[in-house]
């Protein structure tokens, strides 16, 4: 079901030549919205000032999740927010979603791990920039009314660089509820890489995707699409896993690129 949905979405994009201009206009609005949002770096600065470097599995990390939940409410304007406890410890995931009255019940996840805010080299902001990007991607889709007929769910999960305990807990709950996840866009900020989409799909879907999607994004890029089906096989959530590494220097464009891809597939 998940694979057929993505194929149908790509086929629809390939066939709407008469509506291509409309789709391109929406993507331009996404990039304009991200560029005009002066709060993105301010939000990142708030996290870095209020939540200094910390390790996963601590009370500090739990406090970080609570702080991000507050940001989702106050700055991303997402009202449907809840937490998922992980075992008997203090760690918990933050989950928030956009759902409209016509929602199919299928889920598209936009995720980032809550772990160290800065890496040991100080090169980037691992994983604070990714958490901000995830918040802003969902906020962008909401603000522009582009969340589509599927539920777009924000997931900020604990222990991203350790055992993926938070992600495994989320996957377990989703399985119990018999939820259908169409794809997971996992955002990282681990290094200076940007402009690369890692696509965890089978070769057939990947080939269709790189035919249809890049032309819509080329004026804002260049963007590279790399087939990494192995990441889906290793991932706790049973759905195709896409990933993108954001960079503080290009954060607004990174947010726009991710939001655009989700819009195109949704």
137 within 8 A of 262, measured Cβ to Cβ: yes
Residues 6+ apart with CB under 8 A from 158: 56, 57, 61, 65, 86, 91, 92, 93, 113, 114, 115, 165, 166
Q: For 96-113, write each residue's pLDDT tens digit.
A: 888 766 667 789 999 988
- Residues of the chain short of pLDDT 50, as ranges, are 1-2, 55-57, 118-124
Q: For 154-169, write each residue's pLDDT tens digit.
A: 998 876 556 677 888 8
Distance CA(149)–CA(247), nearest Å, equals 30
Kindly state the helix (H) or strand (E) to which residue 260 belongs, with its residue range: helix 251-265
CATH number assigned to the domain comprising residue 19: 3.40.630.10
Kindly state the helix (H) or strand (E) to which residue 142 belongs, with its residue range: helix 128-143
- How many structural domains are present in the chain? 1
Q: What is the pLDDT of residue 119?
A: 44
Q: What is the pLDDT of residue 124?
A: 46
Q: What is the pLDDT of residue 1?
A: 43
Q: What is the pLDDT of residue 122?
A: 39
What percentage of the chain has pLDDT greater than the value 90?
Answer: 29
Q: For 16-30, write each residue's pLDDT tens digit.
A: 655 777 889 999 999
- The parent domain of residue 160 ranges over 2-265
Give Cα 262 to chain centroid, integer Å.
9
């Amino acid at each position: 079901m998940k694979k057929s949905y993505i194929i149908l979405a790509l086929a629809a994009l390939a066939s709407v030549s008469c509506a291509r201009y409309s789709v391109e206009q929406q993507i331009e609005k996404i990039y304009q919205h991200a560029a005009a949002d002066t709060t993105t770096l301010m939000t990142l600065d708030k996290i870095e000032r209020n939540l200094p470097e910390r390790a996963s599995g601590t009370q500090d990390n739990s406090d970080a999740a609570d702080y991000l939940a507050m940001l989702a409410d106050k700055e991303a304007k997402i009202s449907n927010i809840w937490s998922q406890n992980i075992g008997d410890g203090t760690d918990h995931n933050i989950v928030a979603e956009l759902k409209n009255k016509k929602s199919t019940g299928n889920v598209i996840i936009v995720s980032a791990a809550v772990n160290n805010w800065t890496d040991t080299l100080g090169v980037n902001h691992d994983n604070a920039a990714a958490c901000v990007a995830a918040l802003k991607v969902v906020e962008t889709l909401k603000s522009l009314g582009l969340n589509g007929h599927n539920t777009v769910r924000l997931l900020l999960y604990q222990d991203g660089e350790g055992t993926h305990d938070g992600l495994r807990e989320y996957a377990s709950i989703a399985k119990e509820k018999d939820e259908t996840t169409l794809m997971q866009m996992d955002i990282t900020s681990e290094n200076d890489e940007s402009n690369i989409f890692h696509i965890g799909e089978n070769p057939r879907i990947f080939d269709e995707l790189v035919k249809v999607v890049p032309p819509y994004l080329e004026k804002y890029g260049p963007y590279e699409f790399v087939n990494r089906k192995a990441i889906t096989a290793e991932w706790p959530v049973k759905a195709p896993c896409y990933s993108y590494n954001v960079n503080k220097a290009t954060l607004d464009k990174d947010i726009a690129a991710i939001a655009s891809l989700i819009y195109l597939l949704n």
